[in-house]
Amino acid sequence: MIQVEEYLTSRGIGFKVHEHPPVQTCDELAQYGVPGLACKNLFLRDQKKTRYLLVVLPAAQKTDLKKLAEQVGDKKLSFVNPETMMQKLGVEPGAVSPFGILNNAEGDVELWIDREVLEATVVHFHPNRNTASVELTGEMFRRYLLQLGVSYTVL
């Protein structure tokens, strides 16, 4: 599994790490005062289990899976089970983030990012573990996406 901090440092992407106790939700994380836009990261699949999507949204945004399925051109989306999450992203539930794409060797996970996340001044995500959060400026997050070399779709 690729170490997020090493990856970012080796590519000249500036960041700050905020260590904290394990958290499973954005609400739990809020009590630790990590700067930036809090984001929820949904790892979803289609009904046939042939299409996998990592969807990055502002934490405060309500999520309607039916509407989201329409937006991504599918009939129905479901959450991925923990075993598939580990296989595809190398993370456990509660640690999903755009950094999980680093571990997707097959390149079969689609990345969908809400426009508000892309335009945020500062964002933060778990570095593939839920005991820390990595703070990035919006510019550094976009640099990460560019250097990642995978395409993403803006919601």
Q: What is the mean pLDDT of the segment spanning 33-52? A: 93
* Of 1-5, 40-44, 116-120, 140-144, the least confident: 1-5
Angle at 30 between CA 16 and CA 10, to 5 degrees: 20
CB contact at 8 A, 29 and 20:
yes
* Residue 102 clears pLDDT 80, i.e. is over it: yes
Buried residues in 25-48 as b, exposed as e (16+ CB within 10 A):
eeeebeeeebebbbbbbbbbbbee
| Chain segment 121-142, per-residue pLDDT in tens | 999 999 999 999 999 999 999 9
Number of structural domains (the chain) is 1
The CA distance from 22 to 15, in Å, is: 20
Please tell me whether the overall predicted TM-score, pTM, comes out greater than 0.75 for this model. yes
Q: What is the CATH number of the domain that holds 87?
A: 3.90.960.10
52 token code pair? 């996998």
Which pLDDT value is given to residue 28?
Answer: 85
In DSSP terms, which residues pair with 110 in a beta bridge? 53
71: containing domain: 4-154
Q: Which pLDDT band holds residue 149 (cuts at 50, 70, 90)?
A: confident
